[in-house]
Amino acid sequence: METYLVFVNIAANNNKFWSAKIDGNNVIVNWGRIGCQPQEKIHSFHTQSSAQQKFNSLKSNKISKGYRVAIKDLDSTQPELIKQGIRLLEQIKPLVEQRNYKGHFIRLLEEYLKIVPTPVGMKLIPEYLYRNVGDVEHQISILNSLLPNVKTVESKPISLKSIGKNFWRNIVD
């Protein structure tokens, strides 16, 4: 059993993950900022039942704090999530064109980052994420390449690490 949760709050500069899995009588927990080196803790128990209880308790605690179940690596087996991400980006596009990086843009971006957990650096600055419509269209093309029946140069699944690299294609630190 395994879970991957994310918590995104742009105003508080949160873009973090929490994951856990049961391995025998152990619960292995990883957490940190998306795209950064995670921290890890292993909880060991005498029985698998005790490990399962701990797993459920930890997961429930994170969900009560606002974490949301997410997909760690998107691929063509999750077309509905990919399409939902594309729909959000299509709504974000006119806001970027208008350079309206407040309110509705923030809500849409947070929803997008919950569906497509993306390494966006240590500081979430909304106006730097998508500086122009071309940046949004580039992200849409990456997601489109994951959809079944779409011919792409790269036929293997694209990991979030790859999406993150492409996400920042024009941004200079």
Q: What residue segments make up the domains of the chain, in order of their start?
A: 2-69, 79-167
Reported CATH class of domain 2-69: mainly beta
Starting at the edge strand that comes first in sequence, how are the strands of the sheet with 39-44 ordered?
39-44, 26-33, 14-23, 2-9, 68-69
At 28 the pLDDT is: 98
At 94 the pLDDT is: 97
Amino acid at 159: S
Q: Residue 19 in contact with residue 31, Cβ under 8 Å?
A: yes
At 159 the pLDDT is: 53
At 118 the pLDDT is: 86
Neighbours of 33 (CB within 10 A): 16
Asked whether residue 6 carries a pLDDT value surpassing 50, the answer given is: yes
Name the band, by pLDDT with cuts 50, 70 and 90, for residue 172.
Answer: very low
Least confident of 9-13, 71-75, 105-109: 71-75
How far apart CA 94 and CA 80 sit, in angstroms, is 23
Q: Residue 145 in contact with residue 82, Cβ under 8 Å?
A: no
Using one digit for the tens of pLDDT, what is the confidence trace for 50-92? Answer: 999 999 999 999 999 999 988 777 777 788 989 999 999 999 9
Using one digit for the tens of pLDDT, what is the confidence trace for 127-166? Answer: 888 899 999 999 999 999 988 875 544 444 555 555 555 5
How far apart CA 100 and CA 16 sit, in angstroms, is 25
At 77 the pLDDT is: 76
Using one digit for the tens of pLDDT, what is the confidence trace for 26-41? Answer: 999 999 999 899 999 9
Smallest Cα–Cα separation from 25: which of 3, 53, 60, 5? Answer: 53
Counting Cα atoms < 13 Å in the Cβ hemisphere of 16 gives: 15
At 38 the pLDDT is: 95
